[in-house]
Each structure stands twice: as C-alpha cells, then as structure tokens.
A and B are shown apart, each in its own frame.
Chain A
Amino acid sequence: MRTSIFKTDNVFFNHYFKIYDIRGFKLILTLALLLLLFVYSVLFPAPSNYLISIKAKNLLKGVDDLYDYAVPLLAALMTAFAFFNDYKNQTYRFLAFYHPASFNRPMVYRWAIIVFLFCIGSFVSAGFYYRNVSFFGLIGFLLSVRFLPNIVFLSALMLCIIALTKNSYAGLFVTLVYFVLDLYSDGRLFKLFSMGANTANFYYAISPEYFLFNRLLICLAAGCFLGLACYQRR
C-alpha cells in the first residue's frame, strides 16, 4: 500500500513539467519574481536604525510591509494562477478520479512547490534587505525567518477558498478582501490572525508573547486551510 502511494507520487513528479507546469513556465515566472525581489532588496535595503526604530514601538510601514504583505500576496497570486485551470473547465473532477486517495497529495505538492520557492526566495532576499541591521548573524536569521508564516498562510487561504468553492475568482476575492482589510487596519482588525505582526510591531508595541502567538496561530491556520483544501469530500 505504502509502495503504491509512493509510486503514484513518482508518477506525479515524473510528469509535473508535462502536465502541471508545461516547460516550467510557472517555475520560471516564480523565479523571475523572486529575482526582482532580490534586486529590490539589494538596491533598497532597510535603514540601519531599524532595531532602534522597532524598540521605539514605531509602526514599520514602508519597511516591513514588503515582506509582510507584498511577497505573500505574490505567492498567493501564483497559487491562484497554478490552480486556475483546475476549476475553469471542471478539470478537477478528472484529476480527482485519477487521484482517488481521500487526501489529495498532488494538490499539496503543487502548492508546496510554489510556497517552498517563495519561502527560500523571501528568506534569502530578506537577508540582504536587512544587511545594514545584521548580515548572516542570528538577528539576521530571525529578521528573515519571521515573514515565512505569512507566505504559507496567505497562499493556503487562497488554495482553501478555491478548492472549497471550486472557483478561482472566489479565492481571489476572499484573499484580497482579507489582505486589503488587514493592510489598511494595520493589523487591528484581525489581531491574532493578522499578517501584519511585523509591520504593526506586535513584538514591542504589544508583547513578545502576543507576537509569537500570532506567528503560531498563522501557521496553524495555514495547516487547517491546507487540510480543508486537500481533503476530498466524497
């Protein structure tokens, strides 16, 4: 049984660039976006007084919202793009027949490829973005890694709404509404479920525990969204 599952997974990966990402177009597009992000991060780094600014409990709009909001939005839009054709012509029914397990692993893999690339790209670029604050040190690592839950969360939300409604436009609508409301309320509307924990400086403005709990909840919510999206209701 287990061998059979892995064989099916091998089939998925062997055919990935012939069925799900023809000639690697989505991969190239993702890498191009991440390259742009990297170039931007190199050219326009965060100010060197960044740590002083956050300890002064300042809002970090214009500094942290690039990685708090813009990069996760790009990842979520890539997710919508990758799954758009599944629901345009009911292709998902055909795919569901050939992947009969109750948990749709090919869907997870397709989502994970995008998210993984964005996480790596975001982590590396953020390292350069905060190079004036800390470069390749523990602080630099923490400054870069704190944005990753947002990428996972927003793209999982997009996937979940698309899969549940079987409609890519519904996914775009719900995700963008959440995104805009969270961005313009400076994290006050969704509080613990806000993506803007860094921009709104939850760590110093509220408390370190609140900040960490927010990051944890965002990750847990992403896991729930992914489970809801990939569990095939029969």
Chain B
Amino acid sequence: MGNHLSIENVSFSYGKNVVLDNISFACRDGITALLGNNGAGKTTLMNLLTGLKKPSRGRIMLNGIDLLKTKPYPIDQVGYLPQTFDMYGNVTGYDLLSYVFDLKKIKTNKKETIDEIVERFHLGPVIHQRIGKYSGGYKRRLGIAQAVIGKPTLLIIDEPTAGLDPEERAQFRSYLSEISNDAITLISTHIIEDVELYSQQIIILKDHSIAFDGSVAEMISESIPYIRTLETDFSTLMALRKKVTVIEEKRLSTDRYKIRFIKNEQDVADSYQEKEISLENAYIYFQNR
C-alpha cells in the first residue's frame, strides 16, 4: 500500500504578503523534487511540513493523520534535514544520533540502531569526532542519518547536495534512492541534474502556486511543443533576444550559434522543434510561460 502525503488547499502569508496560495498536491513513497526560483515558497512549504510554521488555512495529511492537528508534532514519523545543518561544533556525531534517538522515543535497541545507521552511511571513521571537524560530505551524511533514525514515513530534505563535490553528490544520491524506497522523500533543490536522476515526481512552485505537478517525462513532453531551436549568427541572436526568451545558447563556431527559445505568438523563420530537450530547458519554460 505504501505511504501517502496530501497537501490540501494550503495557504500561508506573512501579514499581507502571500507566500503560498491554495497549494494542493499528493505524493507517495519515492522522491518528490520541489523546484522553484528563490522566493517561490519552497522553504516556507518545508517549514509547514515540519511543523515549524502553521498555515493560515488548509491541511496536511500523512497516512490519514492531520499533521497540523497532531500535538505534539509527530517527530517520530517525520525526518528533517535543513539546508544549513550545523549542530554545535563540539558535539560528537554519536552523541547527536543518541540525542535524536531518545527525542524520537524509539523503542528498538539504541546501540544497535545507531551502529546500523553509522554503518549504512559510512560514518564509522568520524562518528566519535566533533561535528565541527567534519567535511561537508560527512556533515550531510550525519544530517541524513539523524533524519532517518526510527524509519520515518516522511523525509523532508532541503538542498541535499548543495556544496558537495561531484563524487559526494553521486554518493548522496544513492543514499537518497535507498532511503526513499519505503518513505515519502520530499526534496527541495536547485540542482536540476540531480532531479532528473532520482525523482519520480516533480513539483514546480511559481508565483506562490503550483506551476507543474508530474513526472520528469511529463514535464519534458509538456514543454517540447513550446521550445524552438534555431541555428543563427550573432546579430540575429542579439535581435532575437529582444523578441523571445532565449533559454540556451551554444556557440558552434566564430559567428554561429545554436539557440533554444520559448515560442511566442510570432514564429521565427527557420526555427524547428527538437525531439529531445533537457529537463533544465523544461524547467525554464515552466518558469517563463
């Protein structure tokens, strides 16, 4: 059957400033990527899901339980990794995991559970060191380790691979794929490449509402008809920039460019529709349409 999260007609404002306006979507086990430009409301939505903020209206249901009405907020069912995960630098990784284990009131054997988590996320070499000495990669691993203690049904992860080098990003992606098998994993990110590799579902926030909700394939197929390609020279490119939204430029030779742009009412001569576009192209289309 699996787990089910539904966000129903959720709105949030700071005074008169609307941040989220009547947001609704649902997700199941697996990775759901939350995309959106800065200020689109991603972090606010994450804060609502983690109970750090309360919406002005709407409800958030996790497996039939209203998260907003459950007192206290069920930290045993939700794992959270904030973007800036920086616990006090002089706390050891083991002490942090032990604290989180006790706060979540987990019933299993504490030492066995922590040892298993440490092994799973390859934290052995550093687990008894102070967190202040950890590299960026180890810090993120410890962050995800504390989030998955107690096997929560909902994982909320803010910018999981930001600041990691390519190798660490690849490893972190594999951790995320593994943990999302039996948990709803909601990830907020700016890194489109990661989204393409691991997400089953994509949600794009734009102007305080949802601009897209679907799979990677659906996002690309919906965008393809509106994205045109053209090979042109520099002067034409400069003129075109004033008429259309150019979303990709590739220099072919000294005065030859291959560009992609979002189609508008006026068609551009010699432009054509390609069979394949990148997810980044599709994302920019949804942000600009």
Question: Across the interface, which residues of A come within 8 angstroms of B51, CB to CB?
Answer: 97, 100, 234
Instruction: Name the prevailing secondary structure of the A interface residues.
Output: helix
Is there a chain A Cβ closer than 8 Å to B277's Cβ? no
Cβ contact within 8 Å between A91 and B86: yes
Pick from B85, B99, B105 the residue with the most CB of A within 10 Å. B99
Sorting the interface of chain A by its residue count into under 10, 10 to 19, 20 to 34 or 35 or more gives 20 to 34
Do B91 and A22 have beta carbons less than 8 Å apart? yes
Q: Does A14 contact B (CB under 8 A)?
A: yes
Counting CB contacts under 8 A, is B98 at the interface?
A: yes
Query: Separation in Å of the B188 CB from the closest CB of chain A?
Result: 14
B151 adjacent to chain A (CB < 8 Å): no
- Which residues of B lie under 8 Å from residue A99 when comparing CB positions? 103
A141 to B87, CA, bound (A): 43
Asked if residues B88 and A93 are in contact (CB atoms below 8 Å), the reply is no
- B105, A100: Cβ atoms under 8 Å? no
A94 with B73: CB separation less than 8 A: no
A14 contacts B90, CB within 8 Å? no
Inter-chain contacts of A234 with B (CB < 8 A): 51-54
Q: Which residue of chain A has its CB nearest to the CB of B80?
A: A97
B62 CB, min distance to chain A CBs, angstroms: 14
A-B contact count (CB 8 A): 64
Q: Is the CB of B88 within 8 A of A85?
A: yes
A217 shortest CB reach to chain B, Å: 32
CA A20 – CA B96 in complex, angstroms? 11
Cβ-defined partner of B52 (8 Å) among A19, A88, A97:
A97
A4 CB-CB contact with B under 8 Å: yes
Chain A 1-60 residues near chain B, CB threshold 8 A: 1, 4, 7-8, 11, 14-15, 18-20, 22
Q: Which residues of A contact B100 (CB under 8 A)?
A: 98
Q: Which of B84-110 contact A (CB under 8 A)?
A: 84-92, 95-96, 98-100, 102-103, 105
In the assembled complex, 8 residue pairs joining A and B whose CB atoms fall closer than 8 Å, in A order, are A1-B71, A4-B72, A15-B98, A18-B91, A85-B88, A91-B86, A93-B82, A98-B100
Knowing that A19-B91, A100-B72 touch, tell me 18 more A-B residue pairs with CB under 8 angstroms.
A4-B72, A8-B103, A11-B102, A15-B95, A18-B95, A19-B95, A19-B96, A22-B88, A22-B91, A89-B84, A90-B82, A90-B86, A93-B84, A94-B80, A94-B82, A97-B80, A98-B100, A100-B51
